[in-house]
């Protein structure tokens, strides 16, 4: 419920207000940015900062923390709009409103890219409303990704708020792992003793989207800690036809010497990027148990490096 409320009240509200104001004041075209003041510069600086923080969280498999970084960026955008009040300023300083909405649209474009790992469908909706093709991670580094004069799509609600009545209805649909033949009294006894277990649901992707992933088996040949980064390990992975350097946030869970020879599953076609000055080419798949301990996702038996996972 908390995540739903934050998505609607913070993330969705910011995107909606930005696009609706641009539609109303500038016929849905990206306005130019003029001289930036301290408020503008501070908001733009957050784009690079949040991107960096999210990357660190994802590398360390702290996905919930990464999601909150995303929501905090939307919160920054909301505060920026509230502080600058373009709906009041438009009557006396149109150029100032152009700068405010240009900045807000740049934040919106960054939100579209940064939300891909968590909200792929919502990310696509934002891209449609912005009328742009999906961005790459390196495109969102605090720079402008929307040019002045670019025609946006029509704004629409990004999220639907789940009302209490709908929540109650969904809760009533939850069921327990009880025998098929039970009495009313049996059910009451079970309800008194057994907590409700919600069905787990995930945002779905298409087969074609999944098929884009190239998952390969590799073996860790070397591993060492990254200097001045307590949580990062730099590894050399034998992928069969090639060896790759991969940086991963697993140093708190494994010592370098203990994982030499470990077979791993690698996302091989993930775009490479620099982490602490080291070019990392791929991502090692990990699983996290209930206690927060990371485990390698690996074949049940040793197989040839470079073997495809399908």
As given in the structure block, the two tokens for residue 226 are 């990254």
Query: Do 129 and 220 reside in the same domain of the chain?
Result: no
Please indicate, yes or no, if residue 122 is contained in any of the structural domains.
Answer: yes
* Helices 63-84 and 94-114: angle between axes, nearest 10 degrees: 170
Domain boundary residue, one of 94, 109, 139: 139
pLDDT digits (tens, 9 = 90+) for 181-201: 444 554 445 445 444 444 445
Boundaries of domain holding 271? 208-309
Note the pLDDT of residue 30.
97
DSSP label at 29?
A: B
How confident is the model at residue 172, as a pLDDT?
55
The residues, any chain, with a CB within 8 Å of residue 274's CB and separated by 6 or more, are 280
Query: For 280-300, what is each residue's pLDDT tens digit?
Result: 999 999 988 877 788 899 888
At residue 85, the pLDDT reads 94
- How many structural domains is the chain composed of? 2
Instruction: Report helix, strand or coil for 150.
Output: coil
Residue 172 lies in a domain: no
Q: Does 117 fall in a domain?
A: yes
Does 187 reside within a domain? no
Q: Is pLDDT above 70 for 98?
A: yes
Q: Give me the CATH number covering residue 262.
A: 2.40.50.140
Alpha-carbon distance of 76 to 114, in angstroms, equals 15
Least confident range of 157-171, 199-213, 215-229, 232-246: 157-171
């Amino acid at each position: 419920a908390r995540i739903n409320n934050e998505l609607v009240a913070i993330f969705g509200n910011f995107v909606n207000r930005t696009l609706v104001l641009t539609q109303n004041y500038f016929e849905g075209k990206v306005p130019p940015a003029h001289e930036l003041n301290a408020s503008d510069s501070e908001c733009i600086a957050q784009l690079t900062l949040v991107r960096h923080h999210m990357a660190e969280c994802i590398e360390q498999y702290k996905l919930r923390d990464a999601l909150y970084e995303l929501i905090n960026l939307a919160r920054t955008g909301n505060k920026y709009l509230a502080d600058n009040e373009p709906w009041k300023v438009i009557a006396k300083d149109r150029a100032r409103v152009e700068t405010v909405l240009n900045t807000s649209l740049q934040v919106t474009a960054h939100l579209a890219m940064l939300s891909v790992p968590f909200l792929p469908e919502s990310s696509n909706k934002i891209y449609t409303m912005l009328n742009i093709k999906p961005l790459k991670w390196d495109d969102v580094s605090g720079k402008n990704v929307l040019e002045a004069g670019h025609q946006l799509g029509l704004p629409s609600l990004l999220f639907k708020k789940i009302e209490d009545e709908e929540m109650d209805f969904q809760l009533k649909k939850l069921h327990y792992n009880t025998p098929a033949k039970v009495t009313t009294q049996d059910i009451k006894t079970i309800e008194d003793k057994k907590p409700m277990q919600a069905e787990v649901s995930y945002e779905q992707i298409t087969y074609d989207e999944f098929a884009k992933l190239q998952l390969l088996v590799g073996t860790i040949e070397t591993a060492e800690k990254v200097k001045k980064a307590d949580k990062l390990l730099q590894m050399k992975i034998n992928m069969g036809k090639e060896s790759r350097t991969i940086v991963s946030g697993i140093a708190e869970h494994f010592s370098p010497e203990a994982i030499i020879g470990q077979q791993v599953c690698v996302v091989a076609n993930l775009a490479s990027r620099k982490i602490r000055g080291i070019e990392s080419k791929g991502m090692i798949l990990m699983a996290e148990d209930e206690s927060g301990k990371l485990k390698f996702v690996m074949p049940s038996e040793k197989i040839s490096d470079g073997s495809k996972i399908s």
